[in-house]
Amino acid sequence: MAADIRELLKFYAEAGVDEAIEELPVDRFAEFAAQRAAGGRASAPAVEARPAARPAITRSEESPPPYAPPPNTSGMEDRGPPRSAPLTTSVPDGGQILLARELAARATTLDELQQAMARFDGCNLKFTAKSLVFSDGNPAGPLMLVGEAPGRDEDIEGLPFVGRSGQLLDRILAAIGIDRSSAYIANVIPWRPPGNRTPTPQETEICRPFIERQIELANPKVLVTLGGPSAKVLLDTTEGVLKLRGNWRVHRTQSGVEIPAMPTLHPAYLLRNPAHKKLAWRDFLAVKDRLRALG
């Protein structure tokens, strides 16, 4: 919404609109009453009651444009945009999605991928988030877990799953003999949506190449999708998570590698619905058995 308003204001500025309202207030009710008393038409404007409009201001060719390009925010994820400099980002389009795919494909290591994401300005969420939440844990571990997007605590710490849901996830992993030294954790969306709102489909699509490349570079033996949004993106399905969970699926990387994937319930959902913890427990027992079988 904010991006749409900025684009509209930019259009007005370029069209020569230099004022939003008149300098003096106009009492439309008085105009209407005067017209009725004079026996005139109610729809005719009372021109005399309105002040003369100011002449339009002509912008010289030497004057700066109304909007400057956004600054390079590489390495500045912990600082918000300066209040005096209006943001000029727009909603991600197909060109930005293609750019994200190109940058992701160029990365040959996880470090290179993280640096590329830090430089990338094509997703509006970057400008409202405090941190780039890339990953936590051991990328060489046999298990990778992927959620949807970071929350407030994750945005502050710069790490995924460090809040209440992360604490529950740690307890679940410990129950099957795994901790963050033997698991790799990330999110589909690396920047926190403002107010923890649901990411838009465009935001998800522009971040998809990055998480897909992240999985491909980590190359885990088993992938666990936490929650419905993560499962839908990584398993290419439209089914609900309660129907998906507990059933082994396959995540195919861009290079054609097939990784066994277990969709399960998100820890935040389990905090709201503790009766369903037994379902997630069954899923993680299946993950434990699969890891043991794969060695």
> What pLDDT does 1 receive?
66
Asked if residue 31 is part of any domain, the answer here is yes
Q: Give the residue numbers spanning the domain of 277.
A: 94-294
Res. 112: pLDDT tops 90: yes
Note whether 129 and 32 are same-domain residues: no
> What pLDDT does 63 receive?
42
Asked if residue 170 is part of any domain, the answer here is yes
Note whether 49 and 101 are same-domain residues: no
pLDDT band at 95; cut points 50, 70, 90? confident
Bridge pairing between strands 258-264 and 183-187: unpaired
pLDDT band at 28; cut points 50, 70, 90? low
> What pLDDT does 211 receive?
98
Distance, CA of 180 to CA of 159 (rounded, Å)? 12
User: How many domains is the chain partitioned into structurally?
Assistant: 2
Contacts of 7 (CB under 8 A, 6+ apart): 90
Note whether 35 and 99 are same-domain residues: no
Asked if residue 191 is part of any domain, the answer here is yes
- Average pLDDT over the chain reads 83
User: 55 burial class (0-12, 13-18, 19+ CB within 10 angstroms)?
Assistant: exposed
> What pLDDT does 60 receive?
41
pLDDT band at 295; cut points 50, 70, 90? confident
> What pLDDT does 244 receive?
96
Note whether 194 and 270 are same-domain residues: yes
Note whether 250 and 170 are same-domain residues: yes
Asked if residue 190 is part of any domain, the answer here is yes
CATH number at residue 217: 3.40.470.10
Asked if residue 204 is part of any domain, the answer here is yes
Query: Quick one: average pLDDT of 83-97?
Result: 56
More confident residue, 96 or 36: 96
Asked if residue 258 is part of any domain, the answer here is yes
Distance, CA of 252 to CA of 216 (rounded, Å)? 9
Note whether 172 and 102 are same-domain residues: yes
Asked if residue 172 is part of any domain, the answer here is yes
Note whether 192 and 114 are same-domain residues: yes
Note whether 128 and 260 are same-domain residues: yes
Asked if residue 26 is part of any domain, the answer here is yes
| Amino acid code (one letter) for 286 | A
135-174, pLDDT tens digit by residue? 999 999 999 999 999 999 999 999 999 999 999 999 999 9
Classify residue 103 as left (phi > 0), alpha (psi -120 to 50) or beta: alpha
Query: Quick one: average pLDDT of 208-230?
Result: 98
Note whether 126 and 197 are same-domain residues: yes
Distance, CA of 294 to CA of 22 (rounded, Å)? 74
